[in-house]
């Protein structure tokens, strides 16, 4: 009987893929903009908790669903990037934890060496 202990199986969702890039705790002021269910543009300011070249973790008072598309604006550099909610964590007193993935990001989007 042969047993493969290190068999790599691809999980159907990117939410379970291995994390890319080095993460850094960093408080960067950002604005998130998205369209609500009625098509109305919503904007909310927040701060990142963690950043990496491909995204960030933010805490936001608004409840958003996974796969929700939005624009993320770095308020320090005034640059924006399309983004998507890829992880929803715990609800905290100051809002929901979200993992936000940048779509085709510039590697210097955060202005940090990552």
* CATH superfamily to which 25-102 belongs: predicted glycosyltransferase like domains (2.40.10.220)
pLDDT-derived band at 111 (thresholds 50, 70, 90) equals confident
- pTM here is 0.78
Q: Do 38 and 72 contact (CB within 8 A), yes or no?
A: no
Mean pLDDT for 73-96 is 95
Distance, in Å, from the CA atom of 108 to the CA atom of 40, rounded to the nearest integer, reads 31
Q: In this predicted model, what pLDDT tens digit does every residue of 33-59 receive, in sequence order?
A: 999 989 999 999 999 999 999 999 999
Cα within 13 Å of Cα(66), Cβ side: 7
């Amino acid at each position: 009987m042969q047993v493969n202990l290190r068999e790599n199986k691809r999980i159907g969702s990117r939410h379970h893929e291995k994390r890319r890039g080095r993460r850094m705790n960093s408080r960067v002021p950002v604005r998130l903009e998205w369209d609500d269910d009625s098509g109305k543009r919503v904007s909310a300011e927040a701060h990142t908790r963690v950043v990496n070249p491909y995204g960030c973790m933010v805490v936001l008072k608004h409840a958003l669903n996974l796969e929700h598309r939005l624009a993320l604006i770095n308020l320090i550099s005034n640059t924006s990037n399309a983004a998507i909610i890829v992880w929803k964590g715990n609800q905290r007193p100051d809002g929901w934890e979200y993992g936000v993935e940048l779509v085709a990001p510039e590697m210097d989007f955060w202005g940090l060496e990552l």
